[in-house]
Structure 1
Amino acid sequence: MKKPIVAITRPADRAKKACEIVEKLGGSAVLAPTLDLKPVNTDSLKNLVENVDSLDWIVFTSPTTIDSLNLFYPDFLENLNCNVAVIGNKTGSLLKKQGVNVDLMPDDFTAEGLVEEFTKLDIKNQTIGIPRTASARDTLPKGLEKLDNKVILAEAYKSLFPMDEKSVEELIRKIENSEIDAITFTSPLTVHNFFKISKDNEKLAELLSNNLLTVSIGPITAKVLDEYNVEHIYPDTYTVPDMMELLFKVWRDSNGRQD
């Protein structure tokens, strides 16, 4: 059985692990980022840092937020004196490596999952800081505000249109020439930007549905694939390793290999 060629569309600085997993599972990775991330020291981030002592909770939604704070405010994490919530075990693991205790992480690695946990625990009338990208969905802050919490949003990084459009155009060419076996998407923007670069969205959607195994990291990204009429699968646990494990299981099953 030939090695499956798997396209990785996540930002280049976060794609190393995904590529390593593909190689470890017996595939070949093709990296074509449809999203770039840039740490920024905005006024809102400065305000959050200056008022950190007023926080009851701080929520970290991605490793990039942590990278940004470490870049601009190296002492921030070690001086935290509030409860810490995260979305996802990768973010939680990164904090733990830096000596930060994680107080709350939902089983469902989504904003909805975290809001549900805050609701279950009846966490109300708290001041909650959320450093993140400005393009993130409003599900988390609105959900926490409905619980009568005060939410302080801070832009810690920007989600940018891919700076290397040619690599994405080359990926689309390979898809059209049946040179790619599977493709993965890890956020709504990786999907939206991918189709913005495409010259024929309907044709591309048909190829992703019929010629490739398209895998989403979870239901939020899957909803965006639905908008483009792309058939897809996603794992029960919304992590990159689980996404890749599912991809290779389905690939091997469909190609008649039993492990």
Structure 2
Amino acid sequence: MSGTPTVAVFRPDDDRLERAVELLAELGAEPAPDPMLAVEPTDATPRTDADYVLFTSKTGAELVSEAGWEPGDETVCAIGPATADALRAEGYAVDLVPEEFTSSGLVAALESRVDGARVEVARSDHGSAVLLEGLEDAGAYVHETILYRLVRPEGSGESAELAADGDLDAVCFTSSLTVEHFLAAAAERGVQEAALEGLEAATVGVIGEPTAETAAGRGLEVDVVPDEATFEALARETVAAIDDE
């Protein structure tokens, strides 16, 4: 591939998007930032009677702090290092981070411990059923608290038009919802079919198998699924895959 590749990134419009843009630029790409997620807090906090409290995002960690959550004796679990770092930055101790930074990884880390235990899952309204079902199968009494809702920002979809015009070399989808919101934005702009055709010639990178399954189910051919479920790994491997084509 010659020239500077254009890579779309869909992170929420906060420091995550800023860091993603900086990283893509460092990797030699031209970032096309197009936030596909916006956060609507519910001001809820985890229940106080749980043996385990599970957090699945940096956003959740920050929101419970803002809402004044004060943990007791429960075991605090983070789905991955970014969530753990965010919890610690807010002054919370983190007791467990799974080896695999996914819902199934959390289940694998906890399934031998939670039989008969009360487990609180504190997350967005679009969390994977894998986590709840896996913990229930392990014998836990599971309760879910919705800390925030994820919505599609107004004005999103510039990347869909780039894809439709054949001007997008790659995309970095960071969740199933970013895939769904990208296609919804494309449809809203009347370019969904053309955007899908444009992505056939682009490199499609996704975080994790659930996102890969969503993308494939919506007609996208996935090229990159990094072993490590972090944006840095996704960006590096996606840009490298562009160069290999």
- Same fold, TM-score > 0.5, yes or no: yes
Number of aligned residues? 239
2:231 aligns with 240
Deviations along 1:131-177, one digit per CA (max 9) or x if unpaired, are 11122222212211222211221111111122223xx1x32222222
1:226 aligns with 216
Q: Does 1:184 align with 2:186?
A: no
1:37 aligns with 39
- Paired residue for 1:65, among 56, 60, 63? 60
How far did 1:200 drift?
A: 4.7
Partner SS, residue 6 of structure 1 = strand
Q: Give distance in 2, aligned partners of 1:141 and 1:184.
A: 27
- Paired residue for 2:90, among 98, 114, 117? 98
Q: Give distance in 2, aligned partners of 1:149 and 1:213.
A: 41
Distance 1:180 1:200, change over 3 A: closer
Q: Does 1:15 align with 2:23?
A: no
1:257 aligns with none
> Is 2:171–2:203's contact at 8 Å kept on the other side of the alignment?
yes
CA RMSD across the alignment? 1.8
> Is 2:162–2:168's contact at 8 Å kept on the other side of the alignment?
yes
How far did 1:80 drift?
A: 4.0
Percent of pairs with identical residues: 27
Higher percent of residues as helix: 1
How far did 1:222 drift?
A: 0.7
Distance 1:82 1:196, change over 3 A: same
2:121 aligns with 130
> Is 1:8–1:18's contact at 8 Å kept on the other side of the alignment?
yes
1:197 aligns with 185
How far did 1:216 drift?
A: 0.4
How far did 1:238 drift?
A: 0.8
Q: Give distance in 2, aligned partners of 1:177 and 1:229.
A: 18
Partner SS, residue 163 of structure 1 = coil
> Is 2:51–2:74's contact at 8 Å kept on the other side of the alignment?
yes
> Is 1:11–1:34's contact at 8 Å kept on the other side of the alignment?
yes
**Unaligned residue ranges in structure 1 (runs of 5+):** 255-259
Name whichever of 11-20 and 95-104 sits farther off: 95-104
Give the letter for the 1:142 counterpart: E
Partner SS, residue 3 of structure 1 = coil
**Unaligned residue ranges in structure 2 (runs of 5+):** none
1:151 aligns with 142
Q: TM-score by structure 2 length? A: 0.90
Q: Give distance in 2, aligned partners of 1:148 and 1:236.
A: 29
Partner SS, residue 132 of structure 1 = strand
